[in-house]
């Protein structure tokens, strides 16, 4: 069982971040579970903004798994090229769509156990889809999430799965998806990897890493990003 004081502190942080970022949510544009699955795969090693820039053309040409499974490789590569690693990503999308058609009748499954069997889909991607497309709570342990929970002293784990399990123990299941959004938004806007804006941080009082970045409010304020897609 986690320490009671740690649980209380962690939940105070989440409540404060919820107040700070009332509009927090998935920053990838999508309208269906299939679209979310695809854009999450494309978001690896690039920005949400770049993915959102190519997704309208991609889904106009390939609106579902059946269409994408039969898609033209060169055409898909040309569309997703701005996201980087476009050949590898195209290969992943083709295999993913084919697996959906062959094993799930072209539909995205709503179970973690099924999602992680798909090519290119790990727990992080599966939890993004479950939480945001199906309303099934899950923790999205990306680089921002992992960095912040360690800075906040919630866990020392560096392995994503062990991190996920450690944080699950601190929060009720219903909070997991929004907790992920709160931490990711904060990581993109304030708690940066190299120079966190400590002097402008709304949860500084509960952070054992306070001081890793500038504590002067004016200096810190200049580091704050107003939006996180860039």
Determine contact, residues 21/182, Cβ cutoff 8 Å: yes
pLDDT of residue 226: 82
pLDDT one-digit tens code per residue, 68-102: 999 999 999 999 999 999 999 999 999 999 999 99
What is the arithmetic mean of pLDDT over 108-121? Answer: 96
pLDDT confidence tier of residue 230, bands split at 50, 70 and 90 = very low
The DSSP H or E segment spanning 166 is helix 160-168
Q: Is 12 a catalytic residue?
A: no
Indicate which residue of 142, 195, 216, 225 is catalytic: 142
Q: Is 114 one of the annotated active-site residues of the chain?
A: no
16: number of Cβ within 10 Å: 17
User: Residue 220, SS3?
Assistant: helix
Report the distance separating Cα 187 and Cα 90, nearest Å: 29
In the predicted structure, residue 224 carries a pLDDT above the cut 60:
yes
189 Cβ partners below 8 Å, 6+ apart? Answer: 21, 224, 225, 226, 227, 228
Structure tokens at 46: 């690039």
pLDDT band for 2, please (50, 70, 90 cuts).
Answer: confident
What CA–CA distance (Å, rounded) separates 187 from 223?
12
pLDDT per position as a tens digit, 187-200: 999 999 999 999 99
8 A C-beta contact, residue 149 and residue 183: yes
The answer to whether 46 and 80 are in contact (CB under 8 A) is: no
- Name the token pair of 152: 């906040």
Kindly indicate the confidence band of residue 228, based on its pLDDT and cuts at 50, 70 and 90.
low
**Does residue 229 carry a pLDDT above 90?**
no
Provide the token pair at 113: 């156990």
**Contact (CB, 8 A) for 17 and 186:** yes
Tokens of 94: 């083709």
Catalytic residue among 124, 159, 175, 195: 124
C-alpha–C-alpha distance, residues 31 and 174, integer Å: 23
pTM, rounded to two decimals? 0.93
Distance CA 24, CA 109 (A): 25
Asked if 176 and 138 touch (Cβ cutoff 8 Å), the reply is: yes
Question: Cα-atom radius of gyration of the chain, to the nearest Å?
Answer: 19
**Residue 62 region, left (φ>0) first, then alpha (ψ -120 to 50), else beta?**
beta
Output the average pLDDT for the chain.
Answer: 96
Query: Is 1's pLDDT higher than 90?
Result: no
Is residue 50 pLDDT above 70, yes or no? yes
Q: Dihedrals φ, ψ of 105, to 5°?
A: 55, 30
Q: Domains of the chain (ranges plus CATH)?
A: 4-24+140-221 (1.10.1670.10), 33-133 (1.10.340.30)
Is the pLDDT confidence value at 160 over 50? yes
């Amino acid at each position: 069982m986690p320490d009671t004081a740690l649980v209380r502190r962690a939940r105070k942080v989440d409540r404060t971040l919820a107040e700070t970022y009332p509009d927090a949510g998935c920053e990838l544009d999508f309208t269906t579970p299939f679209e979310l699955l695809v854009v999450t795969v494309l978001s690896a090693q690039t920005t949400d903004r770049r993915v959102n820039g190519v997704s309208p053309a991609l889904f106009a040409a390939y609106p579902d798994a059946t269409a994408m499974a039969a898609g033209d490789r060169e055409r898909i590569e040309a569309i997703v090229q701005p996201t980087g690693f476009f050949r590898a990503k195209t290969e992943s999308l083709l295999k993913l769509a084919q697996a959906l058609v062959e094993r799930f009748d072209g539909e995205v499954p709503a179970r973690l156990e099924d999602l992680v069997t798909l090519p290119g889909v790990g727990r992080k991607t599966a939890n993004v889809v479950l939480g945001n497309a199906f309303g099934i709570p899950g923790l999205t342990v990306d680089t921002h999430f992992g960095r912040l929970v360690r800075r906040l002293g919630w866990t020392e784990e560096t392995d994503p799965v062990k991190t996920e399990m450690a944080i699950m123990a601190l929060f009720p299941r219903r909070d997991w998806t929004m907790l992920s959004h709160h931490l990711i938004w904060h990581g993109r806007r304030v708690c940066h990897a190299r120079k966190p804006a400590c002097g402008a941080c709304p949860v500084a009082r509960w952070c054992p890493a306070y001081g890793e970045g500038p504590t002067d409010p004016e200096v810190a304020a200049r580091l704050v990003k107003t939006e996180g897609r860039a």
